Chain A
């Protein structure tokens, strides 16, 4: 009877040694190495502070305008690869026709105080916004439209 118990205990200890991973239980009910694993992935978004290391015009213009709270990568997309190897990865220029309305298209669900436009009424009908607004300083006296006077929204 006692023998059976000893064999059972030995089996349990061996199984436990094999099954419980290294570093388990040091900081809590988990494998300590999992913390490092979760830190390991590479950065995909560089963050706006990184962009300002090399670019100065756009961050400066952005800072004083209505888009001061908007991060570079909200419009330009993830550019960690460009920030790490600036000449190998050349960012595309965002198309203002789709980009701007992604945030500014009129909607009853948006906070009432957020500036919104109805593309059918606002702009020059070309669908693009860059002709009148500088994306980095959009409210700074929108440029006069190429041909006729700006239609007020």
Chain B
């Protein structure tokens, strides 16, 4: 086999930039056949998400991308991810105003005026992919479960539609799909991340306010993010072992 300089450099570049598994998958992505990427090893990954609240501009790109990528019903109230707008009078309040018109799908029509003495910001929400998830513990048949690579998934062919998990999730991240009467929720774009791509929401987030990370990959930038920022999970008192970390989270956020 002869290797010209271009091939060699391209190969070296991939070695440097991509982990071996991702490099192998890359060949298939390049060929436009990502579904044939070689087998993905469950034991090599532990997925998580970091959210930078101070970077979110409330454009709703993630909400739209999520719905198209995952075929989520377009009517309001069905969301795998959504964005909330907080408005905290006097900066400190037990009772912040929170709204999320159509989950942020169409962006946020301006409601507030500058100089009203409040602080206001956007908070993207999604399944927290908890390591000790209350939702999977209550499933009577094992149709929702923590996958060995750290993603909370649903087995649609086996779900009874009993709604226990919908009630058990402290973050309100689950809904019953009206078409199948089974539960649906964020799968962390499992069909994408297991092929070396990022989630649809991260792909379309213009400001990197949300980033997918693999905690078992020592070269993943998520480690640097977690070191450089002070982070918090939602409802830490629930001890869910949430793997969605928020940087710049305000105490008013529920």
Contacts and interface: CB of A to CB of B under 8 A. Distances in A.
B29 A49 contact: yes
Contact of A107 (B108, B142, B207, B208): B108
Contacts of B56: 111
Interface in A40-84: 40-45, 47-50, 53, 67, 69-71, 73-74, 77-78, 83-84
**Chain A: interface secondary structure?**
loop
A53 B155 CA distance: 35
A152 interface: no
Given A27-B42, A44-B69, A21 B158 contact: yes
Contacts of A143: none
B113 A37 contact: no
B197 interface: yes
Interface of A: 21, 24, 27-31, 34-35, 37-45, 47-50, 53, 67, 69-71, 73-74, 77-78, 83-84, 102-103, 105-111, 114
Given A39-B190, A43-B191, A74 B204 contact: yes
B122 interface: yes
**Among the interface residues A21, A43, A70, A73, which one has the most CB atoms of the partner chain B within 10 A?**
A43
Contacts of B55: 111
A47 to B, nearest CB: 5
Given A27-B42, A41-B70, A107 B153 contact: no
Contacts of A31: 142, 155, 158
A37 B157 contact: yes
Contacts of A28: 145-148
Interface string B90-127: 00000000000000000110101110100011100000
Given A37-B157, A102-B60, A114 B145 contact: no
A125 B200 CA distance: 34
Interface stretch (B3-11, B30-38, B237-245): B30-38
Given A30-B145, A34-B155, A73 B203 contact: yes
Contacts of B198: 47
B110 A37 contact: no
A108 B111 CA distance: 9
Given A28-B146, A28-B148, A69-B207, A78 B121 contact: no
Interface string B187-214: 1001110110110100111111000000
